[in-house]
Structures are given as C-alpha cells and as structure tokens.
Structure 1
Amino acid sequence: MVDFKAIEEKWQSKWLEDKAFEPQIDEKKPKFYITVAFPYLSGHLHVGHARTYTIPDVIARFKRMQGYNVLFPMAWHITGSPIVGIAERIKHRDPQTIYVYRDVYKVPEEILWTFEDPINIVKYFMKAARETFIRAGFSVDWSREFHTTSLFPPFSKFIEWQFLRLKEKGLVVKGTHYVRWDPVVGTPLGDHDLIEGEDVQILDYVLIKFILEENGEVVYLPAATLRPETVYGVTNMWLNPEAIYVKVKIRNKDKEEVWVVSKEAAYKLSFQDKEIEILEEFKGEKLIGKWVKNPITEDEVIILPADFVDPDNATGVVMSVPAHAPFDHAALEDIKKNTDLLVRYEIDPRIVENISYISLIELEGYGEFPAVEEAQKLGVKGQKDVEKLEQATKNVYKAEYHRGVFKIEPYKGKPVSEVKDLVAKAMAERGIADRMYEFSDKNVISRFGNRAVVKIIHDQWFIDYGNPEWKEKAREALANMKIFPESRRTQFEAILEWLDKKACARKVGLGTPLPWDPEWVIESLSDSTIYMAYYTISRHINKLREEGKLDPEKLNREFFDYIFLEEFSEEKEKALAEKTGIPTEVIHEMKEEFEYWYPLDWRCSAKDLIPNHLTFFIFNHVAIFRKEHWPKGIAVNGFGTLEGTKMSKSKGNVLNFIDAIEENGADVVRLYIMSLAEHDSDFDWKRAEVGKLRKQIERFYDLISEFAGYEESEAELMDIDKWLLHRLNKAIEGATKALEEFRTRTAVQWAFYNVLNDLRWYMRRTEGRDDEAKRSTLRKLADVWVRLMAPFTPHIAEELWKKLGGEGFISLAKWPEPVEEWWNETIELEEDYIKNLIDDIKEIIKVAKLENAKRAYIYTAEEWKWKVAEIVAEKRDFKASMSEVMKDPDMRKRGKEVSKLIQRLIKDRVFDFKRIDEEKALTQSKDFIEKELGLEIIINAEEDKGGKKKQAMPMKPAVYIE
C-alpha cells in the first residue's frame, strides 16, 4: 500500500521551503489572480468547506502550469458576534456548545475552558485552519496571510480607509431601518451571526384596524395581511380560541390606541417603534362570536374560532377573504359543518351558513371565486390539507397579482399589483392601518442562542445599496463579468435590484471600530468586500511588522489613496515615506504589486453568499476603485452533505476536513470532492465511495511507477498505439476546456477516469505484446497523465514526476497540450467500431441464449450504402438526398432500396459521419475479437448466412452467429 501521508508531508515541506507559491511581479508572464472567501473561524472546517477551497486551488495550480504568474492568497475572518457568543455559551457551560467543541471539534478539555475568552477561540482555530490548508496541499501564498478585526491593526486601518471613502461618497448613512435583532444581547444580526434562518425573509405586513366597540370603548383588532386590497372582500375574522391574547395600550409617536393582539405579537411590536402597555390578558375564546367593523367597507363581520391561526405569526388576528384565499375558504366550509363548535360559542349556525363570498378580482381562466376553483382543482378536502392549500394559495396569489384586474370601486379596472399599494397608502393616510415587520419563518436563531426579532432602529449606520447611481455602476460591472455557472447571473441581477440599506455596524462583537463613531464596530459582511486589494500589499506589510518597522497608526488615508487609487508619483512616495516611516522603495513596490495584480480575475465562493457577500463585493469595488480595477469573474459552487444527510454540528453529523485528510489522504479527498459535482450543484460524501477511489489512485500510482521504467523511442507504432495517443490528446483538450470553465467534475472525468478506462482497453488490446512501440507509448502517456493529474492530486503527482525524471516541481511544470501528430479521428472511429461490434455480439448471444455458439459471420456494408450515407450526411434532408443520389444510374436501379436507406438514415440522424475501412479494421482486430468472444470470426464470407448480408449498414455490420 502506498504511504500517501509520508508523500504528502514530504512535498508540503518542500513547497514551503522553496516558497514555490509566493509569486513576485514578472512582466514576462501573464498574471492570474484568484481568491476565495476567507473562512470564518468559529470552528473546524468540514468537508463541505473542502469543496469551496479546493476548487480555486485546482484552478490556481492549472493556471500556474499553463504559464501564468498565479497569486492565490489566504486570510482568516474573525469579525462579528458569533465568536463572542460561543465564548459566552462556554462560560455559562451550555451543554450543546460544550458537546460541539469537545466531541465534534475534539478540542482538548484544558484548551476548551480557555475559550471563555474569544481571543483564544480565534487563535486556536486560525492555527488549525492553516494546518488544514497546508495538509490539503493548497498552493497558498502564506507570505500574505492576515486576519480581520482590530487585533490585526494594519488590516483594521485598511477597513477604516474603506469606510471613510464610502461615507465621503454618501454611501454610508445614518437612519432608521428594520433589522434582525438579538433581543437578549441587544445587537443587529447579519447572516453570519445566525445559527438558523439566514435565508428567512422579513415580510412587511399591513395591519388593518378592525373596530370592536364594547361599553363605549373602541378597541382595534389589527388583522395582518400581505394583501391589503382584499379588505374589500372580508366576510369574517379568525381568532385562535386557545391562544393567549392581550389588550394593550399602543403609543406610537403622538398617537395612543387600544389594540387586541396575541401575547407574542405584543412582544414583537415593542421592538418596532411602539410603546406597549398590557392592560389585560385572556384567551381568544373570550372574543369568539363578537362582531367587528371593517374600517373600509363599514360592514359588521363576526369573529369565528380557528385553530389554524398561529398566535406567533404577525398579530394572531386574521381577516377572512374566502373568495380569494384558499385557506379561508376551506376553514369556512369546515366550520359550517361543525355545528357543535358554533353552539359551544353561542353562534347561530345560520349566521355562518349565510356568509356570502365577495368577488373582488377578475382573473382570466377563473370565475367569480378563484380560491374555490383552485381548491377544487387540487382536490382540497378541508383545512387540514395544508400542502394542497399552500399550493392553491401560491397559484391564486401569483395569478391575481400579475394578471388580476380589480372590479370594486374606487379602483375598478386597475391591475391588482397597482391596487395593492394604493389601498395600503390610503388606509395609512386615514390612520386605519399600520404596519408590522415579521419573519417568514420563526426559526431565526442568533449565534448567542437567542431567537431573533425584527427591530426598527434609529441612528443606525447603513450601507446604502439602494443608491440608484451606485446600482447603475454595479449593473455595468456585473454585465462585464464572467459568472460560472452563467445560470446564476439572473440571481445576481435580481439581488442587485432589490438590495437596499444594510446595517453595517453593531455595538458588540469583534471587528474594526467605525473611524468617525468608534462606539460602533463594523460587522462581518461589511469588512469583507474589498480585502482582495489588501492581499496585494500584505506581503510587504507582514515583512515590515516582522522587522518591527511598521507603525499601523501611520497607515493613514493618504497612504491607501496613493496605493489603490492614484497614479505613480515619486514625489508622493517620498512624502508618504516621511509620514509613515516606510521606505520609499517599499511604498513603490506595494504600488507596483497592486497595479500588477489588479483587477482580480476570479472570486470563488459557495452559492449561499450570492445574496450578500458576493453582491456586496461587486458594489464595494465599483464604489471605490477605478473601472480598470473592477473584478472580472465570480465562480459559484454548491454545498455538501454527509451520507445523504445535511451536516449539523449540533447533531454530530459532521466530518471535519482535517479528519477526512487523516482518514484518506489529502489527494484522495481532493480528487473525490472534485469528481462529485459541477459548479453550483451539491455533492454527497460517501465513505464507501472514498475507499474505492483510494484503490483507483493507488492503481494510478503503481501504473505510472511502472511506466517510469520505460523509455520513449521512435519505434513504429501500431494503430492501437496511435489510438491511445489520440485519446490522450482528447483528454488534454477536454480537461483543459473544463478547467477553463471551473467544471471540475468534467475535468476529473477527462483527466482521470477517461484516461484510466482508455488505458484498461489498450492493455486488453495489447495483451501479450512487449515491444518497444508499446513501452514508448506508455511512457508518453505517463508523462502527460501525471501532469493532467497534478492540479487534483499534487502530492502524488510530485512524487511520480520525480520518478519520471521531471525537472523541478510538477506544480510549476508545463501543462500538457495536444500533440498535432497524435490526432487521428479515423483510428478512434475504427476502435469504437470494434468495441461496439464486440458488445453487440455479446448482447446477441445473451438475448438469443447462444452460449454454445462456435463462430460469428460478420458482413460489412456494400459500397453503394456508403455513398448514400455520405450524401445524407451532407444534405440532411430526404428530398435533397434522393435528388442527389438519383443522379447516379446505378442507384436509380436500386429504387426502393435507396429510398428506404435514406429514410432510415434521416430517421436515425446519421449526420456526423466519417468513413472508415470496415474490412481493414476487422481484419487487423480479428485475433482480439476472437479472444474476447471465444468465437471463430469470419469476415465477409461469400455465403450469405441467414440472409444477413443485406442488413449491413455503414458502421453497423450485420452478424450471424452459429
């Protein structure tokens, strides 16, 4: 068994010793600059992360071998509240957190308790991540390593500069906005601050204040809706009789009202500019059977009981519009049948029976009541058919919004999409409606372990991604960028359009203080948008720090402006040297590095970062840098599951990246992950499959080691040798094209599996041969194959390169290119012909149960059929083909035969056609075919066995077995 671990350690040490991946400026080479989202270090990286980081390394290695000067740097992200939240939970001995860090992440107990200080968490996992990346064989330029937050002052000064530039342009503003909020810790929450709920939307509910008058007191029941226009069709109200409701005094600015809402709603509303005073608490059943007034129509409608009303969703008060809401229709029909329930609440069943549906919207393809029709169409039996009702709701709401026309005055004839906003605005102006922000899913949990709420905050700092001029520049940049896969472009375009103000600072967590308001700390998704520019100078910054020659406080705005925004100036460099203490020549080199490496060629990350980081990355670049420095491409990848299940730290269903390497070896892990999925599709890690791949890689290693003992020569090649070299050319071409497009799965298929399969076939075809031509062919294959595999399995490739006598590192060797004289499509067609024939004969024997057969007669197509096929391939049309063929007198004699053949060829679309000498191919391969089949092979016998001869088609011989 090959000792992969020893090989990996050997080459990792050599790469680091020789600084193999620390590029300098080289004007003789084209540059290639690729980065990947730096990892957030709240724990170990798992095999899902492994894919995100292996892809850019494979591409970086590929481009290096193509002759590019490649920069692939790495840094660590520690900004934000998650790490602080972990420290707090460990401090309070939270069992779940202790389980994750002690049992899943395997942190030694004596180190675990030091995690009460978040700095220790950061130090531990930064060291672990660096070790993992080195063990994975990532070709990272470690001289540029850094980490975020004020714990690394030079980078913190860079972030200060970025925010000063944004503020100067009016793109960082102070204002009022709704945010996700941790009510216990008291901080806004970004995507990275959540354990659950990153994708949960914030919905903007209109609260329509239905009026309940009791004993001279006016009380409002604010019904929450996303469709305010349907208030004209309300037939009743729904409350949950078992839920706890509260009567509250609501103070909002100068206005004071009494509302009835669920207890949960009162708590949530208290975060949304409303002062709440609870006056009374009761069960919903207290109000069942009472009547309220619709503030728009002034109709009196009854309050009915409904278990389906979730008190934890919006206000817990729901208006019923059965003509246009499938859930309301189903619930109303159910309650009509439940006389006992109505009697329990002293409601006359006739009242409910007489409720008439109100039709509001004209919709092509539906009658008066779309909700009723859609429910019937989907076979809804009642309100418990939740899945069908959700689908019906989706269908009706979408159709009515996009195609519906309102038919109630004063909005008659207007499209529903327009009426929705007009009604909401009119009710707000009259004071009969309010609004409430609510999550589309209640499971939004912060990394502090608390359930989030939506809070309206004042004096919050925002990045104004809604700025129209800024959006226009972002659109321009996106239009000129490459996106892999291209299908993701529309998502980027959509996000770019709806993106608006985003809270960019908070008062807790690690980070860089806002330079003009240091009580606030810049949050994690806002300090990670242009750090790719910082990488270009970080090598020099790190060196100055090591030498004790850097005062970060002197890295002022003037310094960063010059490096990143201005033209070269000796005078400016001298002035900056005096102010910063950095030697003039070093400032000049930093400026040169930025101008050389920028723009960034590729940004890589997983698809969950499209709605935030990757889009922010575009915005911030166009806001700060000159157009020639805007980024050129984004590559998006998918996620990973473990044995078919989503990975979860809390459930222990996680495979750490480093553990996968320990168990299987880095090259096995790399090749396995790269072979599983293309672009943004997801992959599933299966241990059994990894084990099988390891054996195949060992076979690869043994084969190349064997072929390394052979020598190339000028010996005359047989057709099968030429076939293998032609196929090798195809592998080079296929792998190269796939890697240029980040299609790693296809690249692995070409570079590994196809070559392996072709080699197996070649060894079968040449069994018993041991001549100079074969050995030379295999030596040529070894030299190409090991280079094709170098981006995927770099450690093994280095070891084999040495065995092959290659100079230097294979990581820096030349990527193979197709050899012109190896191309031979005819030989490939002939070999495919033989393969297909063998498979066909095997299938005939199996189906016809001819296991005892002794010989096979093979008949090739007659010359006239080839002529017809060539004409059909050219004309691709029956009429045109017949016309051309019939110019030949001999063909005219065949009449119907020719017509039938053309019809068959057209039907089978035999257009991609190239002629081969079938008889020659069969004759040369006769011994091999006989050996493979255990039959005597007779080619084009005079005798027409079984009348098969006439069935022969070009590239499809007729076969008779006896």
Structure 2
Amino acid sequence: MAELNFKAIEEKWQKRWLEEKVFEPQRDPRKPKFYITVAFPYLSGHLHVGHARTYTIPDVIARFKRMQGYNVLFPMGWHITGAPIVGIAERIKNRDPKTIWIYRDVYKVPEEILWTFEDPVNIVKYFMRAAKETFIRAGFSVDWSREFHTTSLFPPFSKFIEWQFIRLKEMGYIVKGAHRVRWDPVVGTPLGDHDLMEGEDVPILEYVLIKFELREDGEVIYLPAATLRPETVYGVTNMWVNPEAIYVKAKIRRGDREETWIISREAAYKLSFQDREIEILEEFKGEKLIGKYVRNLVTGDEVIILPAEFVDPDNATGVVMSVPAHAPFDHVALEDLKRETEILLKYDIDPRVVEEISYISLIKLEGYGEFPAVEEVEKLGIKSQKDREKLEQATKTIYKAEYHKGIFKVEPYAGKPVQEVKELIAKELQEKGIAEIMYEFAEKNVISRFGNRAVIKIIHDQWFIDYGNPEWKAKAKEALDQMTIYPESRRAQFEAVIEWLDKKACARKVGLGTPLPWDPEWVIESLSDSTIYMAYYTISRHINKLREEDKLDPEKLTPEFFDYIFREGFSEAKEKELAEKTGIPAEIIHEMKEEFEYWYPLDWRCSAKDLIPNHLTFFIFNHVALFRREHWPRGIAVNGFGTLEGQKMSKSKGNVLNFIDAIEENGADVVRLYIMSLAEHDSDFDWRRKEVGKLRKQVERFYELVSEFASYEAKEGIELKSIDRWMLHRLNKSIEGTTKALEEFRTRTAVQWAFYTIMNDLRWYLRRTEGRDDAAKRYVLRTLADVWVRLMAPFTPHICEELWEKLGGEGFVSLAKWPEPRKEWWNEALEIGEEFIKSLIEDIKEIVEVAKIENPKRAYIYTAPEWKWRVVEVVAEKRDFKAAMAELMKDEEIRKHGKEVAKIVQRLIKERAFDVKRIDEEKVLREAKEFIEKELGLEIVINPKEDKGGKKKQAMPLKPAVYVE
C-alpha cells in the first residue's frame, strides 16, 4: 500500500467540517447539552507540543460526547491582555538580539513581518491567525462562530469585562489599598503569573529583620539580621557578614522614623521598593565589620561579627544572626573557623574568642538533646560548609521538626509550642521597634517578560481583587465541594489555594487590556479578565453576527444588559426595554438569554496544572460571586506538561517544537494520538520523534486494515466459531474500557483500549483464523471495522472520516453513534479459554528451551481432574484454610487425596488465587488443537491414558501438565 497522504485527507475533511458547520451547535432543548472549554491561549508566540496536550484533551472529550448524542459546545477565543506582548514589541524595537532570534529562528516569523512587531497589535494579529490555523489543522471541533479576543481592541468583550468589574466592586470584592506585589522595576508595573518569563512558582517569603545595635563614635547604627525564625533571637552567639560583599551605611526613613542601618548594597536597592526611603551614606566591603561587637537588643548580649562566605548579599539584608544550637549552617561555619584560625588572625580576632563561644539551647525537641543542629550534622556526617546539599537537608529537617513539634524553653514563653512562640515574638519585636518586615523571593530567578529581574514592591492606591474575603472564600469552597475534579488528587491543592489566596493586584498602567471603568488610567490585567469569559461564549455568536451586519454599538452594552442575560430571570418587558437602549432587537436579546440558560452551567473547564494557583481557582471565585447557584461550574480537568526529548521546553534555548511543525512533520492524527497515549491526567509527557515515527506506521496499518475490511459484508445470522465470538467479546471489552476512560478524562487508558488493545486482539484473531476465508470471519472483521473507526474517531478524526466513507457510513463519523457493548457478544469463558491457549503455547516453548530438547516431536497435555476444580472453587468461596478444608473433607472423592489437598489449598490461599472461572479445558484444547500444532510444529496429544514422565498429577485448573518428547 502506498504511503498514506495524511495532509490531503486532513485538508479534505477540515474543509467539509467548516463548509457544513458541523461543530456549530444550535440550542436544542430536545437534546442533552455538554459544554466544555479550555483556557484560551496567550498569544505571544506559536503554540508548542506542550500546548497541544492541553487543547487536544477537551477536543477528544467533545468529540466523544457529541457521538454519545450530546449537543456539544466547544468554543475558542484568544487572550492578548497584559504586559508581555508590549514588552516583546519594545525589545524588537530596541533590536534585542535574543528576542529577534526567538521570533525569527524559533518561531520562524518572516523578516518583513517581524519588524512590524514594533507595534504590539501586529504581534497579536499575527499569532491569532497562526493559532487559528493550527487549531483547524489539528482537527479541533471548535465552534468558530463564537470566536473573540480580549482587550479594548474587541469592544463587546471589553464591555463584558467592565460589567464584571463594576459588579465585583459593588459587592466589595474589589478594593484599593497597599499590598506587596511582584514588580518590574524598569518598566514600572506589577507582574502577574503570566507576566513572568521565569519564576512563576517562586513564593514570597516574609523575613523578620531583627535590629542589632552597633555604637560607633556615639552614633547608633543598626545591623538588621534577616530571619524566618524570630524566636531563635534568644540563642544568638555571633553575627555573620560576607567579608567580600559590598555593604552600605544608609539612612532609612519609614514614616516618621529615621535610623542608620548597615545592609548589603543589594538589600538597600530592594528595600527602596518596600515603603522605605533609602539614602546611601557610604559603601564598603564587609571585611570592615569583622571583629566588631553588636548588642542583641532582646537579650542584652554583646556578640561578635564573624566572616562567612555562605552569607549571600543578594538574599534579604546580607546580615545573618548565628544560632548554632538550632541552625546547622551556623554550627558548621563556627567549626570551620575553629580549624581555620588563619582567617581569624587576618582580622585580628583571637581564636580563643571563637573557641569559647557557648551554644544556647532554646527548644526541647523529642529525639534530640540540648543542641539538635549539632546532632543532625553529626548524623549526616557533614564535615564542612562545602557539604552544602547535606546542610540544606539538615536545615530543613531541624527547622520543620522544631516548628511542628518543638517546645520553647526560654521565659516568658517557656512551655509553649514553637509555632505559637514564633508569632508572639515577631509581633512583640515589631511593636517595640526592634524588628521590621522585609519581603524577599525564595529564589532569585524571577524574571519579567520584559527581561528584567523582578523585585517585591509595596504598592499604595493599587486596585485589588480581595480573594481573602471570608464570605467569598466560603462560597468558593462550597462550589468546589460540589464539583468533580480530575484527577481527584488535585482537590486538596484547590482547597489549599482557596485557603491562602488573599488580595491580588488586578490592574496596572502598562500593557493591553480593558480600562478599569471607574479609573481608566488603570488597565485590567490578564489573570483578572479571564475568569468568566465562558459565559460570554454563550452569547458571542449573536454578538459576532450583529457586528458583521454593522448592527451593534458596543457602547450601548451596559451593565444592565449583561445583568439581564447572566443574572436575572426571563422578562419580555425587560427585553423590550433593553432593545430600545441597545438597538439590539428584543427577539435577539431573548435568544441570547435562552442560549446562556441552555448552555450554563459549564460542564468542564480544562487546563494545565500550573493554573491551579491562579486562573482555575479565580474561575471558581468569580463564578460564585456573579452567577446564581444553578450556574456554578460542574467540573475541572487538569493536565500535565510536556518535555521534548527528555528536556524542558524553552524558547529562549531554542528547545521548542511548534505544534504546527509537529503536524506538518507527522500529520495531525498521529500527533493527536501520540500525545493522548503518553500520559494520564496531570502526569507529564515526553515528546520523542523516534516514537512518533513508530506510531505513524501503526496508524497507517490501522488505515490499511480497516480499508481492507470495508469490502467485506457483515451479514447477520451467520454461525460463528468460538474464536469469532471471542473477537466480538474482546471488542465489547474495548468499547466498555474506552467509554469508561473517556468519561473520566483518562485519555491514555482510552487510547490503550481503543487502539492498542484492539490491534493486539486483531493480530491474535488473524493468527488464529489464518487460512480461513469464510462468511463468519468476514462478518467479524467488517463488524470490527465499523466499531473500531467510531472508537478511534475522537483521537484520529480525519482518517476515521475517510474510513467511514469507505465503510459506507452515513454522514460524518464525527456525528455517528458512539458504539455500545452488545449483550449477546459477552462471553467471559471464551476469553479465559484463549488466555489458556496462549499461556499453554508459551509454556511448551519454555519447556523446550529450558530442557534443551532437540527436534521435539510431540507434546502430551494433561488437564486437571474434576476434584481439583472443586478444590479451587471452594477456596475461592471460603478464602480461609480451615473453612475450605472443612468443606472439602465432606467430599468422599476429595478425601482420597488428603495431604495433596491440604498443600493445594495452602498454595492457593498464599497466592490469593480466588478469581478462577471454570472452563471445559479439554474441549477448548481439542477445538484449538490444529492451531497449537501449527504454532509449535509439534503433534499435540490431549489427555492420553498413559502418564508420560509422571506429569499427570501436576495438572491444575488452567495450568495443564505438559510432557514434551
């Protein structure tokens, strides 16, 4: 057979689907509806094969439900809100070489188009066209009549967002105030998750800065030590600074307080964004501080400043307090200094000063003595600060154990749990002015899409969505409790996110978006305008038509209009009133209202797992705020990520395979099937070109087989042999398995059933029926082809349409009836019989190989006697040695085999062999005798009277005894 021309087949059916509007559902109250959406793509570049997974899953499910008889809505829009696209335009305008390389060489944007990207509008127009082409080429069954994009560049949707924000503000869910945000210090804008090139998941830590007093020439100077464990201030033995780092002496003004601090140069920069005015007085190396003493304002102790290279000036303040009894790093650093006395002498420090440092025990911890850090270091065999990995491990172990199980030993907090003491001490120190708060990223690699390193800024007069509102949280939890989550294991993460979510900046002054209706100098940011657009899809077909006919003035789409469509009950009077105000005919407003009420609630929201901490949870919050209970969403399905040849995909490193390129290279159906076969739910997948090539050959084989079977007749009422009925039974199993897996979004399992299992079963069937060309076989193969094409249609829709046409199927396979198991095909005994034959063939092959029998002629097969079947069945029923033996010993025939029975029962219970179904082994063997002989090249003798080799007694149910000569 000539190589399959995937592209020609795909183009043929894509054209037919679009021309006949196959996937543009109309409201139909007679049919059950199924509404599924996926997070629309953010269009700063081409979609890659990682995105392909996210978008193919809902398409497979949409196709499956359509074939089940549901009226399915699967729409698509485009997300162009935010600062990243503006940042790209700026970098192209400035001829940034890396950006130009990404867009010219990785994304393959033609040079003449690339330079138009200096205008961000041209970027989104280009990638919207490209994304739509990719989706069509992938065979996605999208209703394109509902297409739209975000921002004020699409006024009707912008008005919908204005309505959403006006109502949220009226409810008290949008507030103005001060809050910490990730911030691009160069561009001057807050950064949401989608505004980051790196570091989306990096948490913000809240350091307590505890001030240690240094007096020089009568001047009071503070060294603020940053700590996540303020309670350990009672155990400080010394301070650490990095002798090679640059520190600054600076005036720190906050409110009406002014103090002089010594901190790292990096800290001074970062603190300048956190409600502090910083005036640098001088700069110097940290070595200038070594050997000086500072006073612990909590205990009154004077402690020495010692050198430590492990102190990172770019982490918090670059000043660290040393608590060696409870901090492994501090203990090991002191031990290193004791050994390396030349370092101390360099700074004129008497080594005896370090030798005489006494550790202070603060926390009682079960399983440890006075100094937990010392014990953990010894336990892990840590020798020096160079054992950084082990030190990190020791630190995690001690900090976690002390926080959760430690009891504080120092007055006035003695006897209280550490986690309680920590909060009390932090609060008390701040009230006394001894401590302040500094926010810091847990890692440094938080980079904005403008290419700048982010800082944490305290913003005043910023607009926030208050996800911390307790009443709102309660409603979000209630909605989550009623939802189905796939995989269910992700529910706990959703619960945790709802719990910790607080105020979130929802507007900025840079980027594309919808202006904040009451404060238009602000633009609503990308994660805030993408929470309820699934509701907009329900009316977007009508909006788009009105726009095409030039019958819509978006300015007249007032909040009152959206209130009626999405929040109120039907009212003819209201529709007439709105018709006068909007210019939209009352009957069209009525149809919009009907569409929303028909399609809502949303049945499924699909996206990747990285959106759980933001978009997917915001989606729940905003729905419960704005819609009636009966319109709250029903389910969320979460998928994992993709890697390329074992490596994380990164456009900055050029390690990206564009979705459209994968389709060009392999064909859409192969790409779809490959991605769906690799991973279940939120587990990740790895794209490997070699494996895709192998799958392509298997898909071609599928096409070849079904094409061949299409010429056969499927006459009913033909007498079938056991192997024919086995094939139909296995086909039933694949129908059932595929259906169940797709109902639960388990695409990998579904592909296993629909493609690989049927392919393997068919291979066995063709082996078993080799040489036969009768009506029964042709009936089975033609029947199988009809079912197989429909089972595969959600995964490989293009070639299945082609095959459906060959099979003489009516209409599109995309709209054909989903197969259901046929009652008369079920026959478990036939399946057991075939497994029995397969197993026997393998056993005989193994016997010949292990026994090294040259030129074997004959195999004698002995099946289990009736009494052994009885033993197996009683054990399966009783599942207990004593109970089974008691029952069996009632049988006179079985009692004759006394000790042997006991051994068999014991073995069966040990192996938990409780699921054995009886078949007529001898009958099965005699029916398959010719096939077994052909497979093995041996004469098969079944149950001869002669006991060859004394093997007969070894026979067990479904495990016959075999002797080969």
- Asked if Structure 1 and Structure 2 have the same fold, meaning a TM-score greater than 0.5 normalized by the shorter chain, the answer is yes
Match of 2:877 among 870, 874, 878: 874
Give the aligned residue type for 1:920: K
Pick the aligned partner of 1:756 from 756, 759, 770: 759
Shift of 1:863: 0.8
Task: Give the letter for the 2:371 counterpart.
Answer: F
- Residue correspondence of structure 1 range 532-931 to structure 2 within 5 A: 532-713=534-715, 714-931=717-934
- Tell me by how many angstroms 1:948 deviates: 0.8
AA partner of residue 758 (structure 1)? D
Q: d(CA) in 1 for partners of 2:845 and 2:230?
A: 70
**Is residue 2:426 matched to residue 1:424?**
yes
Residue in 1 aligned with 2:39? 37
Q: Deviations over 1:401-432 (max 9, x none)?
A: 11110000010000000000100011001101
Cα deviation for residue 893 of structure 1 reads 2.5
User: Following TM superposition, by how much is the alpha carbon of 1:848 offset from its aligned partner in structure 2, in angstroms?
Assistant: 2.3
Equivalent of 2:123, from 117, 121, 136? 121
Residue equivalent to 2:344? 342
Aligned residues: 962
Distance 1:471 1:49 in 2: 31
CA distance in structure 1 between the aligned counterparts of 2:612 and 2:533, rounded to whole angstroms: 17
- In the TM superposition, what whole-angstrom CA distance separates every residue of 1:920-951 from its partner, at most 9, and x where no partner exists? 11111111111111111111111111111111
SS at match of 2:438: strand
Match of 2:165 in 1: 163
Offset, 1:694: 0.4
Deviates more, 1:707-716 or 1:887-896: 887-896
1:248 corresponds to: 250
Query: How do 1:33-182 and structure 2 match up within 5 A?
Result: 33-182=35-184
Q: Distance in 1 between matches of 2:398 and 2:849?
A: 56
Report the alpha carbon displacement of residue 892 of structure 1 after superposing the two structures with TM.
Answer: 2.1
Which residue does 2:486 correspond to in 1? 484
- Note the C-alpha offset of 1:844: 1.9
Whole-Å separation in 1 of the counterparts to 2:421 and 2:855:
81
Which residue in the other structure is 2:943 paired with? Answer: 940
Partner of 1:17: 19
The letter of the residue matching 2:903 is K
Post-superposition offset of 1:959: 1.0
Give unmatched runs, 5+ long, in structure 1: none
Can you list the C-alpha shifts for 1:148-168, whole angstroms capped at 9, x where unaligned? 000000000000000011000
CA distance in 1, matches of 2:370, 2:567: 63
**Aligned-partner Cα distance in 2 for 1:621–1:378:** 51
Change (3 A) 1:35 1:355: same
Q: Distance in 2 between matches of 1:427 and 1:629?
A: 49
TM-score w.r.t. length of structure 2: 0.99
Whole-angstrom CA distance in 1 between matches of 2:483 and 2:855: 64
Q: One-letter code of the match for 1:643? A: E
Determine the C-alpha separation between the residues in 2 that align with 1:368 and 1:951.
Answer: 66
Deviation at 1:889, TM superposition (A): 1.9
2:390 matched residue in structure 1: 388
Q: CA deviation at 1:851?
A: 4.5
Q: Work out the CA distance in 2 between the residues paired with 1:382 and 1:166.
A: 56
Which residue is 1:219 aligned to?
221
The Cα shift of 1:901 comes to 1.1
Q: Please provide the CA RMSD for this pair.
A: 0.6
- What amino acid maps onto 2:760 in structure 1? N
Quick one: which amino acid aligns to residue 863 of structure 1? E
1:199 to 193, 201, 219: 201
Tell me, yes or no, if structure 1 residue 949 matches structure 2 residue 952. yes
Tell me, in whole angstroms, the C-alpha distance in 2 between the residues paired with 1:847 and 1:433.
78
For 2:299 and 2:33, locate their aligned partners in 1 and report how far apart those are by CA, in whole Å.
69
**Deviation string for 1:634-654 (max 9, x for gaps)?**
000000000000011011110
User: What whole-Å deviation, never above 9, does each CA across 1:617-672 have from its counterpart, x for those lacking one?
Assistant: 00000011000000000000000000000011011110000000000000000000
Partner of 2:369: 367
Q: Deviations over 1:666-689 (max 9, x none)?
A: 000000000000000000000000
- How far has the Cα of 1:17 moved from its partner? 0.3
The alpha-carbon deviation at position 852 of structure 1 amounts to 2.4
Q: In structure 2, what is the Cα distance between the partners aligned to 1:247 and 1:302?
A: 19
Kindly report which structure 2 residues correspond to 1:433-582, keeping only aligned pairs within 5 A, or say none: 433-582=435-584
Distance of 1:312 and 1:534 partners within structure 2: 46
State how far apart, in whole Å, the 1-side matches of 2:85 and 2:754 are.
Answer: 41
Distance 2:352 2:852 in 1: 77
Deviations 1:33-84 (A, max 9, x none): 0000000000000000000000000000000000000000000000000000
* Distance in 2, Cα, partners of 1:593 & 1:471: 29
Distance 2:381 2:138 in 1: 54
Q: Secondary structure at the match of 1:650?
A: helix
CA offset at residue 855 of structure 1? 1.4
Q: Whole-Å Cα distance in 1 between the matches of residues 456 and 408 of structure 2?
A: 33
**Aligned-partner residue type, residue 32 of structure 1:** F
Distance in 2, Cα, partners of 1:667 & 1:377: 56
Secondary structure class of the residue paired with 2:247 = strand
1:231-246 matches, cutoff 5 A: 231-246=233-248
Q: What SS class does the counterpart of residue 310 from structure 2 fall into?
A: coil
Residue 857 of structure 1: how far off its partner (Å): 1.1
Q: In percent, how many aligned pairs have the same letter?
A: 82
Q: Deviations over 1:411-454 (max 9, x none)?
A: 00000000001000110011010110000011110011110000
Deviation at 1:846, TM superposition (A): 2.1
Separation in structure 1 between the aligned mates of residue 577 and residue 589 of structure 2, nearest angstrom = 11
